[in-house]
Chains A and B, each alone.
Chain A
Amino acid sequence: MKILVCISHVPDTTSKINFCDNNKSFDSDGIQFIINPNDEFGLIRAIWFKEKTGATVDVINVGLNNTEQTLRKALAIGADKAIRINTIPKCSKVVAKSISKYLESNQYDLIIAGRESIDYNGGMVPGMISALSKINFVDKCTSLEITNDNVKAVREIEGGVENISTSLPLIISSQKGLVEEKDLRIPNMRGIMMARKKELIVIEDYGFKISSETVKFEKPLTKNKVTLIPSNNIDKLIELLNKEAKVI
Protein backbone atom coordinates (compact mmCIF):
# COMPACT_ATOMS: atom_id res chain seq x y z
CA MET A 1 0.00 0.00 0.00
CA LYS A 2 1.27 3.46 -0.92
CA ILE A 3 0.18 6.30 1.34
CA LEU A 4 0.52 10.04 0.78
CA VAL A 5 0.05 12.38 3.75
CA CYS A 6 -0.53 16.08 3.07
CA ILE A 7 1.36 18.19 5.58
CA SER A 8 0.51 21.77 6.41
CA HIS A 9 3.18 23.88 8.09
CA VAL A 10 1.43 25.93 10.78
CA PRO A 11 2.34 28.20 13.71
CA ASP A 12 2.71 26.48 17.07
CA THR A 13 -0.55 26.52 19.05
CA THR A 14 0.81 28.99 21.62
CA SER A 15 1.90 31.54 18.98
CA LYS A 16 0.96 35.18 19.25
CA ILE A 17 -1.04 35.95 16.14
CA ASN A 18 0.07 39.17 14.41
CA PHE A 19 -0.09 40.41 10.86
CA CYS A 20 2.26 42.32 8.57
CA ASP A 21 2.39 43.51 4.97
CA ASN A 22 -0.52 45.93 5.52
CA ASN A 23 -2.40 43.29 7.52
CA LYS A 24 -2.47 41.02 4.49
CA SER A 25 -0.10 38.32 5.76
CA PHE A 26 0.60 36.41 8.92
CA ASP A 27 3.68 37.76 10.69
CA SER A 28 5.95 34.74 11.11
CA ASP A 29 8.66 36.69 12.89
CA GLY A 30 9.79 34.68 15.92
CA ILE A 31 7.18 31.98 15.32
CA GLN A 32 7.84 28.27 15.80
CA PHE A 33 6.23 26.11 13.15
CA ILE A 34 4.82 22.62 13.61
CA ILE A 35 3.10 19.89 11.62
CA ASN A 36 -0.60 20.79 11.62
CA PRO A 37 -2.07 18.70 14.49
CA ASN A 38 -4.85 17.20 12.34
CA ASP A 39 -2.25 16.14 9.76
CA GLU A 40 -0.08 14.67 12.49
CA PHE A 41 -2.84 12.29 13.61
CA GLY A 42 -3.04 11.12 9.99
CA LEU A 43 0.72 10.81 9.65
CA ILE A 44 0.98 8.67 12.77
CA ARG A 45 -1.80 6.40 11.49
CA ALA A 46 0.06 6.10 8.17
CA ILE A 47 3.25 5.15 10.01
CA TRP A 48 1.28 2.56 11.93
CA PHE A 49 0.28 0.99 8.58
CA LYS A 50 3.93 1.13 7.52
CA GLU A 51 5.09 -0.70 10.61
CA LYS A 52 2.27 -3.26 10.62
CA THR A 53 1.78 -3.93 6.91
CA GLY A 54 4.86 -2.61 5.16
CA ALA A 55 3.14 0.35 3.56
CA THR A 56 5.25 3.20 2.21
CA VAL A 57 4.52 6.70 3.46
CA ASP A 58 5.26 9.83 1.45
CA VAL A 59 4.55 13.33 2.73
CA ILE A 60 3.73 16.34 0.57
CA ASN A 61 3.57 20.06 1.22
CA VAL A 62 2.72 22.98 -1.01
CA GLY A 63 4.93 25.80 0.16
CA LEU A 64 8.23 27.61 -0.09
CA ASN A 65 11.51 26.24 1.25
CA ASN A 66 10.82 27.44 4.82
CA THR A 67 8.45 24.46 5.17
CA GLU A 68 11.24 21.91 4.64
CA GLN A 69 12.02 21.82 8.38
CA THR A 70 8.44 20.62 8.94
CA LEU A 71 8.75 18.00 6.19
CA ARG A 72 12.05 16.85 7.73
CA LYS A 73 10.26 16.42 11.03
CA ALA A 74 7.70 14.18 9.29
CA LEU A 75 10.60 12.16 7.82
CA ALA A 76 12.21 11.94 11.27
CA ILE A 77 8.97 10.55 12.70
CA GLY A 78 9.01 7.82 10.06
CA ALA A 79 7.84 8.96 6.61
CA ASP A 80 9.92 7.57 3.73
CA LYS A 81 10.05 10.42 1.25
CA ALA A 82 8.99 14.06 1.09
CA ILE A 83 7.70 16.15 -1.79
CA ARG A 84 7.48 19.92 -1.77
CA ILE A 85 5.69 21.82 -4.48
CA ASN A 86 7.37 25.20 -4.61
CA THR A 87 4.28 27.41 -4.55
CA ILE A 88 3.02 30.08 -2.17
CA PRO A 89 -0.11 28.41 -0.74
CA LYS A 90 -2.27 31.46 -1.30
CA CYS A 91 -5.62 29.70 -1.33
CA SER A 92 -6.91 26.18 -0.71
CA LYS A 93 -7.68 25.60 -4.37
CA VAL A 94 -4.13 26.24 -5.44
CA VAL A 95 -2.96 23.76 -2.81
CA ALA A 96 -5.53 21.14 -3.86
CA LYS A 97 -4.86 21.59 -7.59
CA SER A 98 -1.12 21.31 -7.04
CA ILE A 99 -1.46 18.07 -5.08
CA SER A 100 -3.91 16.70 -7.67
CA LYS A 101 -1.50 17.55 -10.45
CA TYR A 102 1.20 15.61 -8.61
CA LEU A 103 -1.22 12.68 -8.30
CA GLU A 104 -1.62 12.52 -12.10
CA SER A 105 1.82 11.00 -12.40
CA ASN A 106 2.13 9.38 -8.97
CA GLN A 107 -0.26 6.68 -7.80
CA TYR A 108 -1.29 6.19 -4.18
CA ASP A 109 -3.79 3.85 -2.55
CA LEU A 110 -4.52 6.10 0.39
CA ILE A 111 -4.26 9.87 0.71
CA ILE A 112 -4.58 11.55 4.08
CA ALA A 113 -5.06 15.27 4.68
CA GLY A 114 -5.96 16.98 7.95
CA ARG A 115 -9.59 17.94 8.54
CA GLU A 116 -8.48 21.56 8.65
CA SER A 117 -5.33 23.53 9.34
CA ILE A 118 -5.17 25.38 12.65
CA ASP A 119 -4.09 28.62 10.96
CA TYR A 120 -6.49 29.39 8.11
CA ASN A 121 -9.09 26.81 9.20
CA GLY A 122 -10.26 26.35 5.62
CA GLY A 123 -11.21 22.68 5.85
CA MET A 124 -11.41 22.49 2.08
CA VAL A 125 -8.33 20.79 0.67
CA PRO A 126 -9.25 17.09 1.11
CA GLY A 127 -12.67 17.43 -0.54
CA MET A 128 -11.19 19.44 -3.38
CA ILE A 129 -8.49 16.83 -4.05
CA SER A 130 -11.11 14.10 -4.06
CA ALA A 131 -13.19 15.91 -6.68
CA LEU A 132 -10.19 16.96 -8.78
CA SER A 133 -8.58 13.51 -8.79
CA LYS A 134 -11.90 11.59 -8.69
CA ILE A 135 -10.92 9.62 -5.61
CA ASN A 136 -13.53 8.45 -3.14
CA PHE A 137 -13.52 10.52 0.07
CA VAL A 138 -14.39 10.09 3.75
CA ASP A 139 -14.38 13.34 5.72
CA LYS A 140 -13.67 13.77 9.46
CA CYS A 141 -12.33 10.30 9.88
CA THR A 142 -11.83 9.11 13.47
CA SER A 143 -10.92 5.49 12.78
CA LEU A 144 -9.49 3.66 9.80
CA GLU A 145 -8.92 -0.09 9.40
CA ILE A 146 -7.71 -1.63 6.14
CA THR A 147 -7.58 -5.32 5.29
CA ASN A 148 -6.59 -6.04 1.70
CA ASP A 149 -8.75 -3.61 -0.27
CA ASN A 150 -11.47 -3.57 2.30
CA VAL A 151 -11.74 -0.36 4.32
CA LYS A 152 -13.68 0.26 7.51
CA ALA A 153 -13.82 3.94 8.36
CA VAL A 154 -15.63 5.93 11.02
CA ARG A 155 -16.85 9.41 10.18
CA GLU A 156 -17.77 11.89 12.89
CA ILE A 157 -21.20 13.51 12.53
CA GLU A 158 -23.16 15.79 14.87
CA GLY A 159 -23.70 13.92 18.10
CA GLY A 160 -22.34 10.61 16.89
CA VAL A 161 -20.54 8.62 14.24
CA GLU A 162 -21.23 6.87 10.98
CA ASN A 163 -19.58 3.49 10.35
CA ILE A 164 -18.59 3.22 6.72
CA SER A 165 -17.49 0.32 4.59
CA THR A 166 -15.55 1.31 1.49
CA SER A 167 -12.50 0.47 -0.59
CA LEU A 168 -9.17 1.77 -1.86
CA PRO A 169 -8.13 4.06 -3.45
CA LEU A 170 -9.41 6.49 -0.87
CA ILE A 171 -8.80 9.94 0.53
CA ILE A 172 -9.65 10.70 4.15
CA SER A 173 -9.50 13.84 6.22
CA SER A 174 -7.81 13.08 9.51
CA GLN A 175 -8.32 14.30 13.05
CA LYS A 176 -7.93 13.20 16.65
CA GLY A 177 -9.28 9.71 17.27
CA LEU A 178 -7.50 8.23 14.25
CA VAL A 179 -4.70 7.65 16.75
CA GLU A 180 -4.56 8.52 20.42
CA GLU A 181 -2.67 11.47 21.83
CA LYS A 182 -0.23 9.08 23.52
CA ASP A 183 0.67 7.56 20.13
CA LEU A 184 2.06 10.87 18.85
CA ARG A 185 5.83 10.81 18.45
CA ILE A 186 8.65 13.18 19.12
CA PRO A 187 11.49 12.68 16.64
CA ASN A 188 14.46 10.94 18.27
CA MET A 189 18.14 11.40 17.41
CA ARG A 190 18.25 8.35 15.17
CA GLY A 191 15.13 9.49 13.31
CA ILE A 192 16.57 12.96 12.81
CA MET A 193 19.84 11.54 11.45
CA MET A 194 17.99 9.21 9.10
CA ALA A 195 15.71 12.00 7.92
CA ARG A 196 18.73 13.92 6.63
CA LYS A 197 19.47 11.11 4.19
CA LYS A 198 15.88 10.66 3.01
CA GLU A 199 14.75 12.03 -0.31
CA LEU A 200 13.09 15.46 -0.41
CA ILE A 201 11.93 16.20 -3.93
CA VAL A 202 11.15 19.76 -4.98
CA ILE A 203 8.69 20.29 -7.81
CA GLU A 204 8.48 23.68 -9.44
CA ASP A 205 5.31 25.77 -9.23
CA TYR A 206 2.57 24.50 -11.55
CA GLY A 207 1.28 28.05 -11.92
CA PHE A 208 -2.36 27.60 -10.91
CA LYS A 209 -4.49 30.73 -10.65
CA ILE A 210 -5.83 31.65 -7.22
CA SER A 211 -9.54 31.26 -6.53
CA SER A 212 -9.88 33.61 -3.57
CA GLU A 213 -7.67 36.25 -2.07
CA THR A 214 -7.09 37.66 1.41
CA VAL A 215 -7.97 41.35 1.51
CA LYS A 216 -6.96 41.88 5.14
CA PHE A 217 -6.72 40.37 8.59
CA GLU A 218 -8.00 41.96 11.78
CA LYS A 219 -7.72 40.93 15.39
CA PRO A 220 -10.82 40.70 17.54
CA LEU A 221 -11.40 43.64 19.88
CA THR A 222 -10.16 43.05 23.38
CA LYS A 223 -12.87 41.90 25.70
CA ASN A 224 -14.61 43.83 28.41
CA LYS A 225 -13.53 42.94 31.91
CA VAL A 226 -15.09 39.95 33.55
CA THR A 227 -17.84 40.52 36.10
CA LEU A 228 -16.90 38.56 39.22
CA ILE A 229 -19.70 37.22 41.37
CA PRO A 230 -19.08 36.03 44.94
CA SER A 231 -19.56 32.28 45.25
CA ASN A 232 -22.23 32.79 47.91
CA ASN A 233 -24.39 34.90 45.61
CA ILE A 234 -25.48 32.52 42.85
CA ASP A 235 -28.78 34.40 42.57
CA LYS A 236 -26.85 37.36 41.22
CA LEU A 237 -25.32 35.19 38.48
CA ILE A 238 -28.73 33.89 37.49
CA GLU A 239 -30.11 37.42 37.37
CA LEU A 240 -27.24 38.56 35.13
CA LEU A 241 -27.58 35.58 32.81
CA ASN A 242 -31.28 36.23 32.55
CA LYS A 243 -31.50 40.04 32.38
CA GLU A 244 -28.13 41.16 31.03
CA ALA A 245 -26.85 38.32 28.85
CA LYS A 246 -30.35 37.00 28.10
CA VAL A 247 -29.12 33.44 27.73
CA ILE A 248 -31.40 31.69 30.23
Chain B
Amino acid sequence: MCILIYAESEKGKLKKDCFELASYASLIAKTLELEVHAVCFNADNAEELSNYGVIKTYHYKNKNYLNFDATIYSDYISKIFNEKFRFLILSSSSNSRYLGGILSVKLNASYISNVISKIESKSSIKVVRNSFTNKAFETVEALEKNVILSVAKNSFEIIKEPVTVEIEEINFEMSGPINIVTSIEKSENKISISDADVVVSGGRGLKGPENWHLVEDLADVLGGATACSKPVSDLGWRPHSEHVGQTGKPVSSNLYVAIGISGAIQHLAGVNASKTKVVINTDPEAPFFKAADYGIVGDAFKVVPDLISKIKEFKSSNL
Protein backbone atom coordinates (compact mmCIF):
# COMPACT_ATOMS: atom_id res chain seq x y z
CA MET B 1 0.00 0.00 0.00
CA CYS B 2 1.36 3.40 -1.01
CA ILE B 3 0.55 7.08 -1.11
CA LEU B 4 -0.04 8.60 -4.54
CA ILE B 5 0.26 12.30 -5.23
CA TYR B 6 -1.22 13.93 -8.29
CA ALA B 7 1.54 16.25 -9.46
CA GLU B 8 -0.02 18.89 -11.66
CA SER B 9 1.77 20.28 -14.66
CA GLU B 10 1.27 23.31 -16.81
CA LYS B 11 2.77 23.81 -20.25
CA GLY B 12 4.87 20.68 -19.88
CA LYS B 13 6.34 21.52 -16.47
CA LEU B 14 5.42 20.52 -12.92
CA LYS B 15 3.79 23.31 -10.94
CA LYS B 16 5.50 24.58 -7.82
CA ASP B 17 2.84 23.23 -5.48
CA CYS B 18 3.78 19.65 -6.51
CA PHE B 19 6.83 19.96 -4.31
CA GLU B 20 4.67 21.14 -1.40
CA LEU B 21 2.44 18.10 -1.98
CA ALA B 22 5.36 15.71 -2.22
CA SER B 23 6.80 17.11 1.02
CA TYR B 24 3.43 16.70 2.74
CA ALA B 25 3.09 13.14 1.46
CA SER B 26 6.59 12.31 2.66
CA LEU B 27 5.71 13.70 6.07
CA ILE B 28 2.60 11.55 6.50
CA ALA B 29 4.36 8.60 4.87
CA LYS B 30 6.57 8.35 7.95
CA THR B 31 3.58 7.93 10.26
CA LEU B 32 1.75 5.62 7.88
CA GLU B 33 4.93 3.68 7.00
CA LEU B 34 4.16 3.86 3.30
CA GLU B 35 6.05 4.81 0.15
CA VAL B 36 5.30 7.98 -1.81
CA HIS B 37 4.61 7.66 -5.54
CA ALA B 38 3.39 10.30 -7.97
CA VAL B 39 1.34 10.49 -11.13
CA CYS B 40 1.70 13.30 -13.64
CA PHE B 41 0.74 14.15 -17.21
CA ASN B 42 3.18 15.63 -19.70
CA ALA B 43 5.80 16.97 -17.29
CA ASP B 44 9.29 17.25 -18.77
CA ASN B 45 10.82 17.70 -15.33
CA ALA B 46 9.02 14.73 -13.70
CA GLU B 47 12.30 13.51 -12.17
CA GLU B 48 12.46 16.61 -9.93
CA LEU B 49 9.90 15.04 -7.62
CA SER B 50 12.65 12.73 -6.37
CA ASN B 51 14.12 15.71 -4.49
CA TYR B 52 11.10 15.58 -2.21
CA GLY B 53 10.85 11.90 -1.36
CA VAL B 54 8.95 10.49 -4.36
CA ILE B 55 10.40 7.10 -5.25
CA LYS B 56 8.27 6.24 -8.24
CA THR B 57 6.56 8.42 -10.81
CA TYR B 58 3.98 7.33 -13.35
CA HIS B 59 4.36 9.74 -16.20
CA TYR B 60 1.51 9.80 -18.72
CA LYS B 61 2.90 11.23 -21.90
CA ASN B 62 1.37 12.31 -25.14
CA LYS B 63 2.29 15.68 -26.54
CA ASN B 64 -0.89 15.77 -28.62
CA TYR B 65 -2.96 16.29 -25.50
CA LEU B 66 -1.85 19.26 -23.49
CA ASN B 67 -5.23 20.32 -22.11
CA PHE B 68 -6.57 19.03 -18.82
CA ASP B 69 -9.77 16.98 -18.91
CA ALA B 70 -11.22 15.91 -15.57
CA THR B 71 -13.03 12.80 -16.83
CA ILE B 72 -10.10 11.43 -18.76
CA TYR B 73 -7.48 12.32 -16.16
CA SER B 74 -9.56 10.79 -13.38
CA ASP B 75 -9.80 7.54 -15.38
CA TYR B 76 -6.04 7.38 -15.82
CA ILE B 77 -5.38 8.23 -12.18
CA SER B 78 -7.83 5.53 -11.05
CA LYS B 79 -6.08 2.96 -13.23
CA ILE B 80 -2.88 3.46 -11.31
CA PHE B 81 -4.45 3.91 -7.94
CA ASN B 82 -6.37 0.67 -8.04
CA GLU B 83 -3.21 -1.36 -8.19
CA LYS B 84 -1.69 -0.72 -4.81
CA PHE B 85 -2.61 2.60 -3.31
CA ARG B 86 -4.62 3.67 -0.33
CA PHE B 87 -4.04 7.43 -0.18
CA LEU B 88 -4.29 10.06 -2.89
CA ILE B 89 -2.99 13.56 -2.16
CA LEU B 90 -4.26 16.51 -4.19
CA SER B 91 -3.50 20.22 -4.09
CA SER B 92 -6.21 22.87 -3.81
CA SER B 93 -5.85 24.09 -7.38
CA SER B 94 -8.88 24.34 -9.66
CA ASN B 95 -7.92 21.22 -11.60
CA SER B 96 -7.15 19.13 -8.53
CA ARG B 97 -10.37 20.09 -6.82
CA TYR B 98 -12.22 19.34 -10.07
CA LEU B 99 -10.83 15.79 -9.88
CA GLY B 100 -11.41 15.29 -6.15
CA GLY B 101 -15.15 14.69 -6.12
CA ILE B 102 -15.04 12.49 -9.22
CA LEU B 103 -12.18 10.39 -7.87
CA SER B 104 -13.76 9.93 -4.46
CA VAL B 105 -16.52 8.01 -6.25
CA LYS B 106 -14.26 6.14 -8.66
CA LEU B 107 -11.87 5.06 -5.90
CA ASN B 108 -14.53 4.48 -3.22
CA ALA B 109 -12.59 6.87 -1.04
CA SER B 110 -13.35 9.23 1.82
CA TYR B 111 -12.52 12.66 0.48
CA ILE B 112 -11.41 15.44 2.81
CA SER B 113 -10.67 18.93 1.46
CA ASN B 114 -8.87 22.01 2.87
CA VAL B 115 -6.57 19.80 4.93
CA ILE B 116 -4.15 21.69 7.18
CA SER B 117 -2.70 18.95 9.39
CA LYS B 118 -0.62 15.81 9.21
CA ILE B 119 -1.98 12.40 10.15
CA GLU B 120 -1.03 11.52 13.70
CA SER B 121 -1.73 7.82 13.81
CA LYS B 122 -1.99 5.06 11.30
CA SER B 123 -4.76 3.26 13.12
CA SER B 124 -7.40 5.92 12.59
CA ILE B 125 -7.08 8.42 9.77
CA LYS B 126 -7.91 11.83 11.20
CA VAL B 127 -6.98 15.24 9.86
CA VAL B 128 -7.79 18.85 10.63
CA ARG B 129 -9.36 20.99 7.91
CA ASN B 130 -10.46 24.58 7.55
CA SER B 131 -14.20 24.99 7.68
CA PHE B 132 -16.80 27.75 8.09
CA THR B 133 -14.59 29.88 5.83
CA ASN B 134 -11.67 29.87 8.25
CA LYS B 135 -13.87 30.57 11.25
CA ALA B 136 -13.41 27.02 12.53
CA PHE B 137 -11.13 24.02 12.37
CA GLU B 138 -12.80 20.66 11.91
CA THR B 139 -11.18 17.36 12.80
CA VAL B 140 -12.51 14.69 10.45
CA GLU B 141 -12.06 10.96 10.46
CA ALA B 142 -12.03 9.07 7.17
CA LEU B 143 -14.19 5.96 7.37
CA GLU B 144 -13.58 4.32 4.00
CA LYS B 145 -10.49 2.26 3.33
CA ASN B 146 -9.20 4.57 0.61
CA VAL B 147 -8.63 8.23 1.39
CA ILE B 148 -8.26 11.38 -0.73
CA LEU B 149 -6.86 14.50 0.94
CA SER B 150 -6.77 17.86 -0.76
CA VAL B 151 -4.26 19.99 1.06
CA ALA B 152 -4.94 23.69 1.72
CA LYS B 153 -2.59 26.01 -0.09
CA ASN B 154 0.46 27.33 1.72
CA SER B 155 -0.08 25.08 4.76
CA PHE B 156 3.07 23.00 4.58
CA GLU B 157 6.67 23.75 3.90
CA ILE B 158 8.67 22.33 1.07
CA ILE B 159 11.18 19.89 2.56
CA LYS B 160 14.05 18.50 0.51
CA GLU B 161 14.46 14.76 0.76
CA PRO B 162 16.44 13.44 -2.20
CA VAL B 163 15.83 9.82 -3.19
CA THR B 164 16.31 7.78 -6.32
CA VAL B 165 13.26 7.73 -8.47
CA GLU B 166 11.95 5.23 -10.97
CA ILE B 167 9.97 6.84 -13.76
CA GLU B 168 7.51 4.79 -15.72
CA GLU B 169 6.44 6.49 -18.92
CA ILE B 170 3.02 5.51 -20.18
CA ASN B 171 1.32 6.65 -23.34
CA PHE B 172 -2.19 8.00 -22.94
CA GLU B 173 -5.04 8.88 -25.28
CA MET B 174 -7.77 11.45 -24.98
CA SER B 175 -10.50 9.97 -27.08
CA GLY B 176 -13.44 12.25 -27.70
CA PRO B 177 -13.42 14.51 -24.67
CA ILE B 178 -16.99 15.69 -24.12
CA ASN B 179 -15.84 19.05 -22.82
CA ILE B 180 -13.91 20.67 -25.61
CA VAL B 181 -11.71 23.53 -24.49
CA THR B 182 -12.11 26.06 -27.28
CA SER B 183 -9.74 28.62 -25.80
CA ILE B 184 -7.94 29.64 -22.63
CA GLU B 185 -7.78 33.27 -21.58
CA LYS B 186 -4.99 33.91 -19.18
CA SER B 187 -2.85 36.96 -18.75
CA GLU B 188 0.67 35.68 -18.99
CA ASN B 189 2.51 38.27 -16.94
CA LYS B 190 0.05 38.42 -14.05
CA ILE B 191 0.27 36.27 -10.95
CA SER B 192 -3.03 34.71 -9.90
CA ILE B 193 -4.42 35.25 -6.41
CA SER B 194 -4.22 31.57 -5.57
CA ASP B 195 -0.61 31.20 -6.68
CA ALA B 196 0.69 34.42 -5.13
CA ASP B 197 2.76 34.71 -1.97
CA VAL B 198 1.73 38.35 -1.67
CA VAL B 199 -1.74 39.73 -2.33
CA VAL B 200 -2.49 43.47 -2.41
CA SER B 201 -6.16 44.21 -2.13
CA GLY B 202 -8.19 47.41 -2.53
CA GLY B 203 -11.62 48.36 -1.20
CA ARG B 204 -14.22 51.02 -1.67
CA GLY B 205 -11.93 53.42 0.21
CA LEU B 206 -9.96 53.85 -3.01
CA LYS B 207 -12.89 55.83 -4.44
CA GLY B 208 -12.77 54.61 -8.04
CA PRO B 209 -11.08 52.38 -10.63
CA GLU B 210 -8.89 55.26 -11.80
CA ASN B 211 -6.96 54.98 -8.53
CA TRP B 212 -6.08 51.31 -8.90
CA HIS B 213 -2.55 52.10 -10.02
CA LEU B 214 -1.84 52.35 -6.27
CA VAL B 215 -2.81 48.72 -5.77
CA GLU B 216 -1.15 47.56 -8.98
CA ASP B 217 2.11 49.38 -8.36
CA LEU B 218 2.36 48.10 -4.80
CA ALA B 219 1.62 44.55 -6.01
CA ASP B 220 4.28 45.04 -8.65
CA VAL B 221 7.07 46.01 -6.27
CA LEU B 222 6.10 43.19 -3.91
CA GLY B 223 5.81 40.65 -6.74
CA GLY B 224 2.21 39.97 -5.77
CA ALA B 225 -1.29 39.63 -7.16
CA THR B 226 -4.06 42.23 -7.01
CA ALA B 227 -7.42 41.60 -5.35
CA CYS B 228 -10.45 43.59 -4.21
CA SER B 229 -13.43 43.60 -1.86
CA LYS B 230 -16.85 42.49 -3.06
CA PRO B 231 -18.47 45.92 -3.63
CA VAL B 232 -15.49 46.90 -5.77
CA SER B 233 -16.19 44.03 -8.17
CA ASP B 234 -19.96 44.53 -7.94
CA LEU B 235 -19.47 48.17 -8.97
CA GLY B 236 -17.45 46.96 -11.93
CA TRP B 237 -14.29 48.76 -10.83
CA ARG B 238 -12.42 45.44 -11.01
CA PRO B 239 -13.15 42.00 -12.54
CA HIS B 240 -15.02 39.37 -10.49
CA SER B 241 -11.98 37.16 -10.57
CA GLU B 242 -10.34 39.61 -8.13
CA HIS B 243 -13.15 39.47 -5.56
CA VAL B 244 -11.87 37.84 -2.37
CA GLY B 245 -13.75 36.83 0.76
CA GLN B 246 -16.40 34.42 1.84
CA THR B 247 -18.28 34.57 -1.45
CA GLY B 248 -15.22 35.24 -3.57
CA LYS B 249 -11.81 33.65 -3.68
CA PRO B 250 -10.10 32.50 -0.52
CA VAL B 251 -6.67 33.97 0.16
CA SER B 252 -3.97 32.22 2.14
CA SER B 253 -0.89 34.14 1.10
CA ASN B 254 2.15 34.95 3.22
CA LEU B 255 1.38 38.66 3.07
CA TYR B 256 -2.02 40.31 2.56
CA VAL B 257 -2.16 44.09 2.27
CA ALA B 258 -5.64 45.63 2.59
CA ILE B 259 -6.04 49.21 1.40
CA GLY B 260 -9.29 51.06 2.09
CA ILE B 261 -11.12 47.89 3.12
CA SER B 262 -13.25 48.08 6.26
CA GLY B 263 -12.85 44.42 7.22
CA ALA B 264 -16.46 43.21 7.18
CA ILE B 265 -16.95 39.74 8.59
CA GLN B 266 -17.49 38.24 5.12
CA HIS B 267 -14.30 39.80 3.83
CA LEU B 268 -12.23 38.67 6.81
CA ALA B 269 -13.56 35.13 6.62
CA GLY B 270 -11.97 34.68 3.23
CA VAL B 271 -8.60 36.29 3.89
CA ASN B 272 -7.92 35.38 7.51
CA ALA B 273 -5.82 32.38 6.59
CA SER B 274 -3.10 34.70 5.29
CA LYS B 275 -0.06 34.68 7.54
CA THR B 276 0.67 38.41 7.83
CA LYS B 277 -1.99 41.05 7.31
CA VAL B 278 -1.26 44.75 6.86
CA VAL B 279 -4.12 47.23 6.92
CA ILE B 280 -4.13 50.80 5.66
CA ASN B 281 -7.31 52.68 6.54
CA THR B 282 -8.24 56.25 7.53
CA ASP B 283 -10.67 55.04 10.17
CA PRO B 284 -9.00 53.84 13.40
CA GLU B 285 -12.28 52.08 14.27
CA ALA B 286 -12.30 49.98 11.07
CA PRO B 287 -12.89 46.37 12.15
CA PHE B 288 -9.97 45.16 10.02
CA PHE B 289 -7.50 46.54 12.58
CA LYS B 290 -8.68 43.88 15.01
CA ALA B 291 -7.71 41.13 12.58
CA ALA B 292 -4.48 42.68 11.31
CA ASP B 293 -0.86 42.18 12.33
CA TYR B 294 0.30 45.64 11.28
CA GLY B 295 -1.81 48.69 10.75
CA ILE B 296 -1.38 52.22 9.52
CA VAL B 297 -4.15 54.68 10.30
CA GLY B 298 -3.86 57.03 7.39
CA ASP B 299 -4.97 58.13 3.95
CA ALA B 300 -4.17 55.54 1.30
CA PHE B 301 -3.54 58.26 -1.26
CA LYS B 302 -0.60 59.48 0.85
CA VAL B 303 0.56 56.27 2.54
CA VAL B 304 0.61 53.93 -0.46
CA PRO B 305 2.83 56.04 -2.79
CA ASP B 306 5.22 56.48 0.12
CA LEU B 307 5.17 52.74 0.82
CA ILE B 308 5.82 51.92 -2.85
CA SER B 309 8.89 54.15 -3.05
CA LYS B 310 10.26 52.94 0.30
CA ILE B 311 9.88 49.29 -0.71
CA LYS B 312 11.63 50.01 -4.00
CA GLU B 313 14.50 51.56 -2.04
CA PHE B 314 14.57 48.61 0.33
CA LYS B 315 14.59 46.09 -2.50
CA SER B 316 17.37 47.81 -4.41
CA SER B 317 19.57 48.09 -1.33
CA ASN B 318 19.02 44.41 -0.48
CA LEU B 319 19.75 42.88 -3.85
Contacts and interface: CB of A to CB of B under 8 A. Distances in A.
B184 interface: yes
Given A136-B179, A158-B192, A247-B276, A125 B266 contact: no
- From A17, A132, A158, A218, name the one whose CB has the most chain B CB atoms within 10 angstroms: A158
Contact of B240 (A122, A126, A142, A229): A142
Given A127-B100, A220-B134, A242-B314, A161 B111 contact: no
Interface in A121-156: 121-132, 136-140, 142, 153, 155-156
B266 A162 contact: no
A163 B182 contact: yes
A140 B94 contact: yes
B194 interface: yes
Contacts of A19: 136
A92 B111 contact: yes
B207 interface: no
A17 B135 contact: yes
A176 B247 CA distance: 8
Interface residues of A, number: 80
B178 A136 contact: yes
B181 to A, nearest CB: 5
Nearest to B255: A247
A166 B97 contact: no
Judged by DSSP, the binding face of A is mixed
Main secondary structure of the interface of B (DSSP, over half): mixed
Contacts of B138: 120, 214, 216-217
Contact of B135 (A142, A165, A219, A240): A219
B111 A212 contact: yes
A224 B291 CA distance: 9
Contacts of A126: 101
A123 B291 contact: no
Given A136-B178, A158-B93, A214-B140, A231 B298 contact: yes
Contacts of B190: 159
B292 interface: yes
Contacts of B98: 127, 137, 139-140
Contact of A158 (B71, B74, B194, B291): B194
A240 B294 contact: yes
A235 B306 CA distance: 10
Contacts of A164: 179-182
A69 interface: no
Interface string B276-312: 1011000000000111111111110011001100110
Contacts of B290: 223, 226
B136 A220 contact: yes
B21 to A, nearest CB: 15
Interface of A: 13-14, 17, 19, 26, 37-38, 92-93, 96, 118-132, 136-140, 142, 153, 155-167, 176-177, 180-182, 209-220, 223-224, 226-231, 234-235, 237-238, 240-242, 245, 247-248
Identify the 8 closest CB pairs spanning chains A and B, nearest first.
A127-B101, A160-B186, A159-B192, A231-B298, A131-B105, A215-B139, A247-B255, A139-B98
